[in-house]
Structure 1
Amino acid sequence: MPSKYRPQLLGWLSDLDKKPYRMSEHVHQLIYANDNYCAFIRLEDDVQSSCNFHNILTTILSSFIFFVMVIMMFDSGLSKETIVCIVILIIDCIALYLVIPELYKYVFSSMGNPIIFNRKTGKVYVNENYFFNFKVLHNPKVFLQPKKRRMQEYDWNDMHGVVNHNLLRGMAPATLLMVCQSGTNQVIDHVMLDPQNAASGRILIWNWVNSFMVFYKSVDIDSGKYKTDEEAKFKTDIIDGEGWPEWMVEAFNATSLEELAVIKQKYNIKP
């Protein structure tokens, strides 16, 4: 059965149900949680380091092939060798087009690209490298902006889980949050929840977030890397200096939509 969300992504595997789940395992991507919000990292240090190495190596190799083919084209004139060079050059350009965003994604993503879920306001906050997403088609001009970031506030009610085979980003399935127009299944944005994980880990993260957002009693909010009473340390180590807008940092702890509205008015943030 196909996904109920449209447009459906290439490589779709399954839709995920929103409901509370009984939690019995520790989720190692959970970095901090209190009674208002939780924070998950989406890139672990060992994965990021490994991907950095492979992407840097691939970029260097592809760039070398590119320049070699250009030189050979000019030296060989109109010949069969030139045609071969053109074909290889086209393939190499496509490879660079795909691998450069991956390089930017891992090199310029810091602190694990945390995603914040506030269960009292029903808001989700994202501050991530522009290339940390599921897009394949990019305007070439953004390749000149490797540190470009996007910062968004989403409504949890408009976000729905999907497991997708990460065909162009790796071999393991990825868990995405499909952002839909309110009250519809029309997708307007995608947010990566878990880029690459084993099936059990992937489902565990989805289950934990859903249970947290509905205040399910089995969720242990003190099981993150930083304990619940270490919010100041969590913000100093993970949030400070990462470009989070001040209003968002305050909004993490908003306890109602009315309090959130006051925060936005304070910083002149339009609804």
Structure 2
Amino acid sequence: MPSKYRPQILGWIGDLDKGTQYITGADDRLLYANDNYCAFIRKIKSDQIFYLCIFSFVAIGLIPIMILWLLLIFVYNIYNQLHITILGVSAFIICFIAFYVIIPEVYQNLFTRRGSPIIFNRKTGKVYVNESYFFNFKVLRNPLTFFHPNKKRIKEYDWAYLQGVVVHNFSNYSLNTTILMVCKPHTHKTIDHILLDPARVGVGSYMVWGWVNNFMCCNDLINLNAGKYKSEQEIQFKKEIIKGQGWPEWMVEAFNATSQSELAEIKQKYHVKP
């Protein structure tokens, strides 16, 4: 059965239901939680360094390879042999596409800071992200964005219109990724994606989704002190994770909004459009 969210995402395994039927155990990516909001880290530093090295090595290696293919086509093919031209052009296009796909991976691993946390407020039903523009599941991009490697995406979403799906990475390690599909209100049409829990093995890929669902449903079984920072350490959490990362002031204040009316007051205070 295909995904009900359209267009279906590449590597789709299954759609995830919302609710409190998931395991409530703490996850090592939980940074902080209080009665209003929780924060999950999405980038482990060791993984970030590993993938940065791998993708950087491949990207750097592709540059001389593409140059060699161009030389073969325009310099060394002195007799203009058609089969050599076709081979050279085909190989160059393949290398260029690979380079186009890899560069965003280099950018997002290079410019992601402090784990790129995602914030869920269960009182207002809002979700907040402040991430590298390239930290997503897109393939087609505006080529001009490649000249802005540290470009950010800072957005507010409605939890009601976020739906979870799991995809695999086509490797022998069976790593799964949980993605939030941003749907057009009251439809299954996808208009955006958010990476929730990248590259996990097996059942681990469902842990963050399960904990978030229990949190957003106000399930009392979850432990708000199971994260890296305890509930009473909010000041320390914001100082070490949020401060200096470009989060708008209104958004940081909105983390703790306890109702839609309070959120509206915060936005009005900072002249933010509803």
* TM-score after normalising by structure 2: 0.94
| 1:45, distance to aligned residue in structure 2 (A) | 0.8
Q: Name the CA shift for 1:202/1:211 in 2 (closer, same or farther; >3 Å).
A: same
2:94 to 75, 81, 91: 91
- Within 2, Cα distance between the matches of 1:39 and 1:45? 16
Letter in 2 for 1:173: N
1:119 to 78, 98, 122: 122
1:220 to 200, 218, 223: 223
Structure 2 contact 174–201 (Cα < 8 Å) conserved: no
- Aligned pairs for 1:9-158 (under 5 A) are 9-21=9-21, 23=23, 25-76=25-76, 77=78, 78-79=80-81, 80-158=83-161
| 1:25, distance to aligned residue in structure 2 (A) | 2.7
Letter in 2 for 1:44: I
Tell me the residue number matched to 2:210: 207
Letter in 1 for 2:153: R
| 1:132, distance to aligned residue in structure 2 (A) | 0.6
| 1:92, distance to aligned residue in structure 2 (A) | 1.0
| 1:64, distance to aligned residue in structure 2 (A) | 1.6
> Which residues of structure 1 form unaligned runs of 5+?
none
Structure 1 contact 22–218 (Cα < 8 Å) conserved: no
Tell me the residue number matched to 2:249: 246
- Within 1, Cα distance between the matches of 2:238 and 2:104? 28
Give deviations 1:186-232, integer Å, cap 9, x for gaps.
21111110111012211111110000001101110101111111111
Q: Name the CA shift for 1:42/1:97 in 2 (closer, same or farther; >3 Å).
A: same
Give deviations 1:244-266, integer Å, cap 9, x for gaps.
11110000011111110000001
Give deviations 1:134-191, integer Å, cap 9, x for gaps.
11111211111111111110111111111122359x9622111111122221211111
- Within 1, Cα distance between the matches of 2:52 and 2:149? 14
Structure 1 contact 21–208 (Cα < 8 Å) conserved: no
- State the secondary structure of the residue aligned to 2:200: coil
Structure 1 contact 33–227 (Cα < 8 Å) conserved: yes
- State the secondary structure of the residue aligned to 2:199: coil
1:172 to 170, 175, 178: 175
The percent of aligned pairs where both chains have the same amino acid is 50
| 1:23, distance to aligned residue in structure 2 (A) | 4.2
Q: Name the CA shift for 1:107/1:171 in 2 (closer, same or farther; >3 Å).
A: farther
Give deviations 1:1-44, integer Å, cap 9, x for gaps.
22111222232111111111464532000011111100001110
- Within 2, Cα distance between the matches of 1:190 and 1:87? 32
Tell me the residue number matched to 1:256: 259
Structure 1 contact 23–218 (Cα < 8 Å) conserved: no
- State the secondary structure of the residue aligned to 2:192: strand
- Within 2, Cα distance between the matches of 1:134 and 1:104? 14
| 1:233, distance to aligned residue in structure 2 (A) | 1.1
> Which residues of structure 2 form unaligned runs of 5+?
none
Aligned residues: 270
- Within 1, Cα distance between the matches of 2:54 and 2:199? 16
CA RMSD of aligned residues (A): 1.7
Letter in 1 for 2:31: I
* TM-score after normalising by structure 1: 0.95
Tell me the residue number matched to 1:184: 187
Q: Name the CA shift for 1:171/1:101 in 2 (closer, same or farther; >3 Å).
A: farther
Letter in 2 for 1:195: P
| 1:71, distance to aligned residue in structure 2 (A) | 3.0
Structure 2 contact 40–118 (Cα < 8 Å) conserved: yes
Letter in 2 for 1:36: N
